[in-house]
Each structure stands twice: as C-alpha cells, then as structure tokens.
Amino acid sequence: MSSLDVLVDQYINYLLVEKGLSKKTIESYSSDLTRYLKFLKTIKIRTISNADTTAILKHLISLRNAGLGSRSRARHLVTLRGFYRFLVEEKVIENNPTRIVDLPKSGLRLPDVLSFEEVKRLIDTPDINKPTGARDAAMIELLYAAGLRVSELVNLRIQDVNLEACFVRVFGKGSKERVVPIGLYAKEKIDYYIKTFRPKLLKNIASPYLFVARAGKPMTRQGFWKLIKKYGQLAGITRKIKPHSLRHSFASHLLEGGADLRSVQIMLGHVDISTTQIYTHVAREHLKKIHEKFHPRK
C-alpha cells in the first residue's frame, strides 16, 4: 500500500501548499482518504490503477453499511473526486473514475435561502438612528452584498474596505485573499456608520476593525449570531435563520438572476466549484416554480 500512501501524501501536501486550505479542512480530507485506503486494503487493491469506479462504489456501500448517512457519504465522494482529479492532472492516471458516480441521494443538504423580501425586511429592521443599529444594519447589508462568512465579516479592517471603488478585500479559509464587489446600498450604510456612529462606539479608543463592539474590540461570531436571531424575530421571519443564511441567499439570488457559476465561486471563495454547485439546485427549484406559475401548458 506504500504507493497509494505516497499518492495520498502528495495530494494532502498539494492541498496544504498549493491550495492553502485550512487545517480543519485538511484534517477532514486526510481522514476520508485514510478510510478509503483501509477499505482498498480489505479488498486486496494495492495500486491506484485498480482502484476504479467499482472500488469507489463498493467503498460508498461499505460506508452506508457502517451507518454513515447520505450527507457524510457525499462528503467522502467529494473528497475522492478531488483526489482523483489531482491524479489525472499529475498524469498518474488517465481517467477520473469518480466522474460517473453520482452523489448519494439527498447527500448534500440544500442551504436555507431567504427570499429577497425577507432579506430586505431583515436589513431594514435595525434602528439606524442608534450607534449599534447603524452598525448592525451595515453588517447585515454587507454580509448579503458580498456573501461573506461571519468570521470574514467580523475580522474586516477599515483598510480592507474601499468605498470609492465599492469592494472589500477578504481573507478567507486558509488565509486566501479575494476581492469582492459591493453595491451602493452596502456602500451607503457602511459610509453612514463610519462617519456618524463608529467614533461614538469607539469612545476615543483606536481600533483597526471596521465593526466594533465594546472597548474597540471586533464583534464576536457568537455576538453577531445573537443579533441575527434577534432581528429575524423582529422582522417577522418565522423560520430559523443564521448568519450563513445570508451567504446562501447571496449565492442563490445571483444564480437566479443569471450569474454564471464560476463568478459566484470566485466571490464566495470556494476552492472547488463542486462546493458552489449546491446552489444550482436551489436556483433550479426557483425556476421550476416560475414555470409552474406562468407557463400556459404547465
């Protein structure tokens, strides 16, 4: 099994050095591939050329028999797809045997997406005549405008925001940098917050962070989660929403509006486009509803 082990080590090193993935993501990939290698050993496969589509299907069946749910099995398959794609690119093998293997049914849970009306109600709920309200409105608007992760939002610094050019510079997973455009609504809310209320929140304390809480410190993820929950209730949104719901809504609304998948992938900061493809399911459901509602021969 040494040759298979070496290939996996090379792939993990590639993810670490070339892709710059986070430690948690690397550990997840490594765990999935280690389990796959152990399975190959049990069925007497010792070379990558023999680890074909049949072996992959047997592995997925073994995971199901071991009690793994469809979502966990789908994650394993996504890991294997990346591994085999790497082997093809490195010319270790000629064809990717995972191409014809479908994700387990319901393997990837569809994200919770707010309607545009719900997003607008949520953004309009904070009282922008108060320092914390102006800050919260700007945070919610920016989260939706740029599709940021909460950790990216709360760690934004003043220097990362260019209001004149309407973009933010974000450092995502694995410290990968990306630049995301923002709209005029977000620009206006951020500008209003910075000029009118940020100095009052700081109380003569210097801070590099854009959105500040007490003593000039950045807001925590947990603190912002509580705010979203509170504003969701005040906005009359009955379903459970999280900060990530706005990131999901950002991606889905772009695709519904005609944006291409690759552009959305870049704005979200996804390394693998297969991660972004989950939103196409949501967009398709939206199109189906439009068709059923308006087509004369539905």
**Distance, CA of 113 to CA of 250 (rounded, Å):** 9
Active site positions, annotated: 149, 173, 244, 247, 270, 279
Lay out the sheet containing 161-162: strands in order across.
161-162, 167-171, 177-181
- Could you tell me how many residues make up the chain? 298
Contact 80, 56 (CB under 8 A): yes
**Distance, CA of 75 to CA of 173 (rounded, Å):** 18
Packed helices 221-234 and 116-124: angle between N→C axes, nearest 10 degrees: 110
Tokens matching residue 131: 């320092």
Q: Is 184 exposed, middle or buried (0-12, 13-18, 19+ CB in 10 A)?
A: exposed
Contact 216, 200 (CB under 8 A): no
